[in-house]
Amino acid sequence: MDFTLDEAQREIAGLAADVLAREIDFGRPPGPGGYDEQVWRALAKAGLLNLAVPAELGGDGLGLAEVAVLLTELGRAAAPVPSLTLAFGLLPLAALGTPEQRAWLLPEIASGDALVTAAPHEPSAPLATRPETRAVAESGRWRLTGVKTNVPFAAAATRVLVPAGTGVFLVDPRAEGVTVAGTTLRLDGVVVDEADQLGGADALEVLRRYAMAGMLALGDGALAGALDLTTRHVAQRHQFGRPLATFQAVAQQIADVYVASRTVHLAALSAVWRLHTGRDPQPDLDVAAYWLAEEAPPALATCHHLHGGLGVDISYPLHRYYAQIKELSACLSS
């Protein structure tokens, strides 16, 4: 197998890096949705939110492999945008949505006018394979009851993909019976129509796998970004008249971070490749999730250590990578 990016994927990575380098301003406060809407709009204008939208809806008709390239660049830049909604919402909606659902939501996502996220996590059960959230059929409708945790950008979302019972449903986070508190979504007898259910008997598993692959790609980029930042720091910072990078102990520690980053990168690429090509991805998804959950947090701790006091300064970007890795690791450690 060859994981070398093809020409289109290299162009996506380069374009994303250019847009993010030009648009990101960490001094700019987040918008009402809790993210930098200017950066998100710039990504949409560049066509990067359109990658997985089918050609008949005006998109590029690409898939997970290309979206994963974008997610890796978003992680590398610690971009303050709703990155995971691409894997939690766009990809499963493109794969499972009815023609009406796709025609309504996918162009809106591509333009940056709508966010669709998902709620695959439940209390003490990240990426739950058998959701405790109930879906009870009632007079041609469904009534949903349960609690979802770690729902990215739930309050800003147009719709949330909610696994419940044996299906996945599109839920309006502003509907009666829905309570959003931070990233927790509570459903108290929320009524949804049959038209709000996504198709496919394997909808739960498809959503779960896309969510895993997206988190892995984003985490791969975040760890690589932290490594790049730390490598530049130890090359430029001097002690006793010499760059920190020339000290043997420092070189060994940064090498350990490099090994962890490359291992996560290879594992994530393999998992994404298998899912993208229709092979059974679960063993590779599980291996990559293990490596990210077990190796990335200690690697970030080493990066903090090598930065000294600068690493915990909120005006310095390292804490953004740490926060992202901590959140992703918690969700992948099931």
d(CA 275, CA 261): 21
Query: For position 245, what pLDDT does the model report?
Result: 87
Superfamily of domain 203-332: Butyryl-CoA Dehydrogenase, subunit A, domain 3 (1.20.140.10)
Would you place residue 2 in the very low, low, confident or very high pLDDT band (cuts 50, 70, 90)? low
pLDDT higher than threshold 80 for residue 3? no
Tokens 């590398």 belong to 76
Cα–Cα nearest to 53, from 125, 16, 7, 108: 108
Percent of the chain with pLDDT over 90: 90
Class of domain 118-196: mainly beta
Query: For position 334, what pLDDT does the model report?
Result: 64
Burial grade of 284 (CB within 10 A; 0-12, 13-18, 19 or more): buried
Task: Note the pLDDT tens digit of each residue in 121-156.
Answer: 999 999 999 999 999 998 889 999 999 999 999 999
Would you place residue 34 in the very low, low, confident or very high pLDDT band (cuts 50, 70, 90)? very high
Query: For position 315, what pLDDT does the model report?
Result: 86
Would you place residue 327 in the very low, low, confident or very high pLDDT band (cuts 50, 70, 90)? very high
For the chain, domain boundaries: 7-114, 118-196, 203-332
What count of Cα atoms within 13 Å lies in the side-chain half-sphere of residue 84? Answer: 26
Query: For position 219, what pLDDT does the model report?
Result: 98
Task: Note the pLDDT tens digit of each residue in 267-300.
Answer: 999 999 999 999 999 999 999 999 999 999 999 9
Would you place residue 310 in the very low, low, confident or very high pLDDT band (cuts 50, 70, 90)? confident
Task: Note the pLDDT tens digit of each residue in 74-90.
Answer: 999 999 999 999 999 99
Mean pLDDT, rounded, of the chain: 95
Number of Cβ atoms within 10 Å of the Cβ of 203: 20
Cα–Cα nearest to 166, from 205, 193, 195: 205
pLDDT higher than threshold 90 for residue 5? no
47 contacts: CB under 8 Å, gap ≥ 6: 60
Q: Are 163 and 132 in contact (CB under 8 A)?
A: no
Determine which helix (DSSP H) or strand (DSSP E) holds 304, and give its type and residue range: helix 282-307
Longest dimension (CA), the chain: 77
Query: For position 74, what pLDDT does the model report?
Result: 98
- Asked whether this chain's domains 7-114 and 118-196 adopt the same fold, the reply is no
d(CA 160, CA 332): 20
Would you place residue 1 in the very low, low, confident or very high pLDDT band (cuts 50, 70, 90)? low
Please, which residues bridge with residue 184 across strands? Answer: 181
Query: For position 313, what pLDDT does the model report?
Result: 84
Q: Are 170 and 196 in contact (CB under 8 A)?
A: yes
In this prediction the pTM is: 0.95
Residues 104-115, mean pLDDT to the nearest whole number: 97
pLDDT higher than threshold 70 for residue 210? yes
Q: What DSSP letter does each residue of 6-47 carry, written as one string?
A: -HHHHHHHHHHHHHHHHH--TTSPP-TTSS-HHHHHHHHHTT
Residues 37-42, mean pLDDT to the nearest whole number: 97
CATH classification for the domain delimited by 7-114, as one of 3.30.2010.10, 1.10.8.60, 3.40.50.170, 1.10.540.10: 1.10.540.10
93 contacts: CB under 8 Å, gap ≥ 6: 101, 102, 105, 106, 109, 116, 161, 198
pLDDT higher than threshold 80 for residue 110? yes
Task: Note the pLDDT tens digit of each residue in 219-257.
Answer: 999 999 999 999 999 999 888 888 988 899 999 999 999
Would you place residue 214 in the very low, low, confident or very high pLDDT band (cuts 50, 70, 90)? very high
Residues 194-199, mean pLDDT to the nearest whole number: 93
